[in-house]
Copies of this chain bind each other. A is one copy, B any other.
Amino acid sequence: MGLIVQKFGGTSVADTRRIHSAARRAVAAKTRGNEVVVVVSAMGNTTDDLIALARQVCENPPKRELDQLLATGEQVTIALMAMALHDQGHEAISFTGGQIGLVTDNAFSKARIQSINKQRIFEQLEAGRIVIVAGFQGVTPEGDYTTLGRGGSNATLVALGAVLQADVCENYTDVDGIFTADPRIVKNARKIDRISYDEMLELSGLGASVLQTRAVEFAKKYNVPLHVRNSQNDSEGTWIVAETPNMEHIVVSGAALKKDLTRVTIKNVPDRPGIAAKIFGDIAAANIVVDDIIQNVMDDNTANISFTVEHGDLHDIKPVVERIARELGPKAHATYQGDLAKVSAVGVGMRVHTGVAQHMFKTLADARINIQNITTSEIKISCIINKDDGPRALQLVHDAFELDKSK
């Protein structure tokens, strides 16, 4: 008995049959004696369809109007979900973001949640109703619709979990949970039962996951347990929870592969204080995410600064980098190496176990996979390698740390 927030993504509410199926899950949780709040996304490809419709009308639609348009997607689903519950004999009420006072800043298309008025939700829960909330959307203080950006429904899920002090946030997807590696590449990948927020953050930053970094950060901050599970079956999924001491027994929890990276190197950068800050400040201003930053100081008092970007961002970052190089003086210039990948091992156990990095490097070396760069964090080791070696490297790292075996 407790308060459960469930979230159903687009594929889990793609048609009226699936909406009924999701509704039955909410009813099951209610029947077990819980108070239930349900967050839903837009049905199937609705959001993409609406964006395509907007582009038919206007090549570059104003973001406020695009959010006004996109917010209808979730509004359709909440109403249908409430009707499905009514049809199954249960009282339910649907709310848009605005109707529960989910107020955001006014950064249309990628707004951040500022506050939620929980009173209206609690009133309805106390009246015995299942409460349905539109994911992905909020309103500005002036009442304009905003959307929360990619993965925004998960942000709604976790924010509601935090504000309502939910016992668990259940994230229903079309997979069984978080895996030790991408099961499409590593056939013996194993579903993880429990994982810490920090490990999940590293893995989701690596693109290995159904959960966006922002949602996990928020869950960590407010200590909301997340349960990622499959909407098509009843098996337990993966619990994402605060770190416990016994998690450190597991040295490596998961491995991940990020494909299609390009390494950008700016050579002959004057080695002065503040230069790196300027370079990455300019890049951040262009709204491009970079990773794996490495700086090498040379003998001639210059430095080489390199970092990776996703291949798709190269077109946007190139003019920024070329301008920076020009500003840095006549010797500075940029080079680009594409067709790279990154294989990583993640685990909180690295904090207390030694030899993890060496074991990983040796595994790759024995297989004659060339490591071009290495970056590490307290709980992660990443190696930049050739793209073609990526899938094989992921399988090797998975095998080396025996991730297929439950510990």
Contact = CB atoms under 8 A, between A and B. Distances in A.
B62 A144 contact: no
A94 B63 CA distance: 12
Interface secondary structure of A, over-half rule: helix
A320 B61 CA distance: 55
A56 interface: yes
B82 A65 contact: yes
Interface residues of A, number: 36
B83 A54 contact: yes
B78 A94 contact: no
A87 B62 CA distance: 9
Contacts of A62: 82-83, 86
Given A64-B93, A65-B83, A86-B65, A20 B57 contact: yes
A53 B43 CA distance: 12
Interface stretch (A68-76, A200-208, A376-384, A396-404): A68-76
A80 interface: yes
Nearest to A73: B72
A66 interface: yes
Most buried by B among A19, A76, A84, A86: A76
B79 A69 contact: yes
A77 to B, nearest CB: 9
A16 interface: yes
B75 A87 contact: no
Given A62-B86, A65-B82, A57 B94 contact: no
A58 interface: yes
B57 A83 contact: yes
Interface in A79-108: 79-80, 82-84, 86-87, 93-94, 96, 98-99
Contact of A84 (B57, B68, B96): B57
A148 B58 CA distance: 30
Contact of A143 (B68, B99, B144): B99
Interface of A: 16, 19-20, 50, 53-54, 56-59, 61-62, 64-66, 68-69, 71-72, 75-76, 78-80, 82-84, 86-87, 93-94, 96, 98-99, 143-144
Given A54-B80, A57-B84, A71-B75, 5 more contacts: A57-B87, A58-B86, A64-B93, A69-B75, A75-B75
9 contacts: A19-B57, A20-B57, A50-B76, A58-B84, A58-B87, A65-B79, A65-B86, A68-B82, A75-B75
